Amino acid sequence: MRYSEGIREPRDILAEDKQRTSDTCVNILVYPLPIRIFHWVLVFSLSLTIISGIIISFTYPLLTMRTVRFIHVSMGFIVLAITLYRLGYGFLSGDYKNFSIKLEDFKTFPELVKYYLFLREDPPPLRTKYNIGQKFTMFSWLMGVFYLAFAGIMLLNASFVSKGPAFFPLARFILPQQIRVTKFFLTIYFIITIILHIYLAHTEDIAKTQSMFTGWVRVLRKK
């Protein structure tokens, strides 16, 4: 190739600048305020729940054990409450449709795996707001929160569980040690998937990560 072929003419640069000026920026609302409230309350409460749970199990805390247990139980109830809030908002607003899993989503799974393994440049097209991997992860978090809340109540007060008609049969069927082991592995699962979520959120589209603060994404729209 001749050297002159790599040189860009001034008129070409001016044409590109003119094309850029013909584009307009528009703001698109990605995350409404109720979703952002849910997200950050969940981040705060779930983080404290996990950290306090690990402190109770493995370390000698700087605070008293009574204080750590109070933080763990309080934040756990907040996690459950904010999850129920998100479910209610999803059904009232129609946002639950973004989480629905259908056959069309399963068809995109092989291509999604290729994308995450860097075998495909672009992700497969979305049927709704989230891909099949995100939907399964969110559904597993939902089931995990419900189970951990149930297990926490089972371990919180032995006398309450033994006298309660709803919990007594379960307490006889499920041993406390089994519950503790299951809670431990679920906690590890939450930690791994949260780290993966943070990584993907910051590498796939940083604009969407920023929109979790403002709610809006600024995109170019050609005239």
4, part of any domain: no
194, part of any domain: yes
Lowest average pLDDT, out of 14-28, 44-58, 128-142, 180-194, goes to 14-28
61, part of any domain: yes
Give the CATH number for residue 153: 1.20.950.20
139, part of any domain: yes
Residue 170 has pLDDT above 90, yes or no: no
Number of domains in the chain: 1
21, part of any domain: no
22, part of any domain: no
Tell me the mean pLDDT in the region 137-153. Answer: 92
Lowest average pLDDT, out of 14-28, 49-63, 82-96, 181-195, goes to 14-28
The winner for highest mean pLDDT among 116-120, 139-143, 172-176 is 139-143
Encoded tokens for 153: 């109540």
210, part of any domain: yes
* Closest CA relative to residue 40, chosen from 214, 156, 198, 213: 213
Give the structural domain span for 133. Answer: 31-215
What confidence score (pLDDT) does residue 160 get? 54
C-alpha dihedral (88, 91, 94, 98), degrees to nearest 10: 90
190, part of any domain: yes
Tell me the mean pLDDT in the region 58-80. Answer: 89
What confidence score (pLDDT) does residue 175 get? 61
pLDDT classification of 23: cutoffs 50, 70, 90? low
Encoded tokens for 15: 């044409």
